Amino acid sequence: MENLYKIPEHVAVIMDGNGRWARRRGLPRVYGHREGAKRVEELIEVSRDIGIKWLSVFAFSTENWGRPKEEVDAIMSLLVEYINKKVPYLIENNIRLRFMGRIEQLPDMIKRSVEEGEKATQHCDGMNFVVALNYSGKAEIIDAVNKALKSGITELSEEDFRRFLYIPEMPDPDLLIRTSGEERISNFMLWQTAYTEFYFTETLWPDFDRDEFLRALYEYQSRERRFGKVLSI
């Protein structure tokens, strides 16, 4: 029975399959991203309702710049539109919006929205919604090492290292969900997922609704996490 109440503190999501969802309907890929953004809203609502404290989503990787320019522009516009529209809701629901990645390299238009969104919600402490943008796990580790070197540190423990990550106070994900049948980490939070439970589903991201999310959470609740130790024989 106790498993019923095992709510993960941090859920991370790789939202995959938007392009395929659109293509199957004979639509341009951007329609898939648009529909995918609606599922992000539902994810936030469910997380808030059941008490998940950290929700993080992989919105744009450093490798995604290699996509056709129209698609990159469409994703960037969608993100700006989404952030601007969502901030009042986030404030109302006491949810802090945060970003992680090489934000300084983003176009000015999106950088402004990112900064405004973070500032407007910085007092919110009910839940954290983290958007990984121009993010890669290897880049985060390299950036952390360079920050540490610049600060004059010559030797680091794991806990020292954590202080140099993009969001030092963010707990490691308990559960990572990836949609669309791909079973890879694809450079997402390499440091933080050492003991994360992975949940893979064939469902394409635009079809990953509330029920699908709850299914992933039930599955998580049934898993026994040992962190390399023996808990029961």
Q: Which is nearer to ligand FPP, 16 or 140 (CB)?
A: 16
Q: Which residues is 55 bridged to in the sheet? A: 11, 129
Q: Which is nearer to ligand FPP, 46 or 144 (CB)?
A: 46
CA distances from 35 to 165, 205, 209, 229 (A): 31, 9, 11, 42
**Distance in angstroms between the alpha carbons of the first and the last residue of the chain:** 19
How far apart are CB 120 and ligand FPP at their closest, in Å? Answer: 16
Binding residues for ligand FPP, rule: CB under 6 A, are 15-20, 33, 36-37, 40, 57, 59, 64, 75, 78-79, 82, 131, 180
Q: Which is nearer to ligand FPP, 58 or 220 (CB)?
A: 58
Q: Which is nearer to ligand FPP, 180 or 192 (CB)?
A: 180
Q: Which is nearer to ligand FPP, 113 or 196 (CB)?
A: 113
Q: DSSP readout, 81-111? A: HHHHHHHHHHHHTTEEEEEES-GGGS-HHHH
How far apart are CB 58 and ligand FPP at their closest, in Å? Answer: 7
> Who's near 96: CB < 8 A, 6+ residues apart?
90, 121, 122, 123, 124, 125, 126, 127, 128, 129
Q: Please tell me the distance from the alpha carbon of residue 32 to that of residue 221, in angstroms, as a whole number.
A: 30
How far apart are CB 96 and ligand FPP at their closest, in Å? Answer: 15
Q: Are 81 and 111 in contact (CB under 8 A)?
A: no
**Tokens 């023996």 found at:** 230
Tell me the residue number closest to ligand FPP, measured at CB.
19
Least Cα distance to 119 among 103, 100, 96, 101 occurs for: 96
How far apart are CB 231 and ligand FPP at their closest, in Å? Answer: 36
Q: Are 44 and 95 in contact (CB under 8 A)?
A: yes
Catalytic position from the list 16, 128, 134, 174: 16
How far apart are CB 151 and ligand FPP at their closest, in Å? Answer: 31
Based on the residue annotation, tell me whether 16 is a catalytic residue of this protein: yes
> Who's near 134: CB < 8 A, 6+ residues apart?
60, 61, 62, 101, 102, 103, 105, 106
Catalytic position from the list 3, 18, 64, 143: 64
Residues with catalytic function: 16, 64
